[in-house]
């Protein structure tokens, strides 16, 4: 009998990061009956375009349409509202310039006692003076993708700077696009039973 020695190479399957709400430890994701999720973006600056790109980026992580979103212009039926505080931000072509803390964002999810998500989920973005238009545009585009990640149910942050879901308390969002870990986390989330119903 011959023995064959071979090196087993582990497939590169990034496990991703945790997504349960804290401290409740609940899972939230949209279910098939509520798709496509209806996003409304305040028509300020290039926000609608950033939202379109954010929705598309997350949809692209799924093979079978587990998550689908669409941007609507009539806010009466919105399930997610994305707004920018204050005046319209400057617009500029997106670039690969180093990230600057020219903006931030917050996603507010309100869960009732019956574990029912109150809609709409609200994303509030802010941009800051003292930065170039390019820095503000790059920041808002990036943070919009990150906040949309929260709205699909990724309710925790990654501690790796290369993930789009990297963020407070670790630092500011720096990645320009989704990593394989972002994709793996989203896929794992949509194949986990949701505790919260939208
Ligand atoms: Zn965040």
The pLDDT of residue 22 is above 60: yes
Token digits of residue 168: 């407070």
- 134 C-alpha to center of ligand 1: Å? 22
pLDDT given for residue 168 in this prediction: 83
pLDDT given for residue 32 in this prediction: 85
- 12 C-alpha to center of ligand 1: Å? 26
What backbone phi and psi angles, to 5 degrees, belong to 193? -60, 135
Percent of the chain with pLDDT over 70: 93
- 147 C-alpha to center of ligand 1: Å? 6
Q: CB within 8 A of 42, min separation 6: which ones?
A: 81, 82, 83, 84
The more confidently predicted of residues 122 and 10 is: 122
Average pLDDT for 91-117 = 94
Cβ 183 vs Cβ 139: under 8 Å: no
- 144 C-alpha to center of ligand 1: Å? 10
Which residues are registered as beta bridge partners of 166?
A: 158
Cβ 174 vs Cβ 159: under 8 Å: no
- 111 C-alpha to center of ligand 1: Å? 17
- 117 C-alpha to center of ligand 1: Å? 18
Domains of the chain: 32-190 (3.40.390.10)
Average pLDDT for 184-195 = 96
CA distance 98 to 30: 34
pLDDT given for residue 173 in this prediction: 92
pLDDT given for residue 113 in this prediction: 83
- 10 C-alpha to center of ligand 1: Å? 31
Q: CB within 8 A of 109, min separation 6: which ones?
A: 21, 28, 117, 121, 150, 151, 155
pLDDT given for residue 169 in this prediction: 81
Render pLDDT for 118-148 as a digit per residue (tens, 0 to 9): 999 999 999 999 999 999 999 999 999 999 9
- 142 C-alpha to center of ligand 1: Å? 11
- 7 C-alpha to center of ligand 1: Å? 40
- 36 C-alpha to center of ligand 1: Å? 22
Average pLDDT for 172-189 = 95
Kindly provide the b/e burial profile for residues 122-135, where b requires at least 16 CB atoms within 10 angstroms of the residue's own CB: bbbbbbeeebeebb
- 5 C-alpha to center of ligand 1: Å? 47
């Amino acid at each position: 009998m011959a023995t064959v020695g071979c090196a087993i190479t582990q497939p590169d399957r990034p496990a991703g990061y945790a997504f349960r709400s804290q401290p409740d430890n609940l899972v939230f994701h949209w279910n098939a009956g509520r798709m496509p999720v209806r996003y409304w973006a305040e028509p300020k600056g290039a926000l609608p375009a950033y939202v379109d790109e954010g929705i598309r980026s997350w949809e692209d992580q799924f093979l079978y349409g587990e998550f689908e979103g669409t941007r609507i212009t009539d806010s009466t039926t919105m399930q997610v509202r994305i707004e920018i505080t204050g005046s319209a931000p400057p617009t500029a072509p997106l670039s690969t310039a180093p990230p600057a803390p020219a903006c931030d964002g917050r996603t507010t999810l309100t869960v009732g006692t019956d574990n029912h998500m109150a809609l709409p989920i609200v994303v509030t973005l802010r941009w800051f003076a003292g930065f170039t238009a390019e820095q503000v545009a790059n920041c808002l585009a990036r943070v919009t993708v990150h906040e949309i990640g929260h709205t699909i149910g990724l309710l925790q942050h990654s501690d790796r700077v290369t993930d789009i879901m990297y963020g407070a308390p670790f630092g500011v969002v720096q990645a320009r696009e989704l990593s394989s870990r972002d994709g793996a986390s989203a896929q794992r989330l949509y194949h986990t039973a949701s505790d919260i119903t939208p």
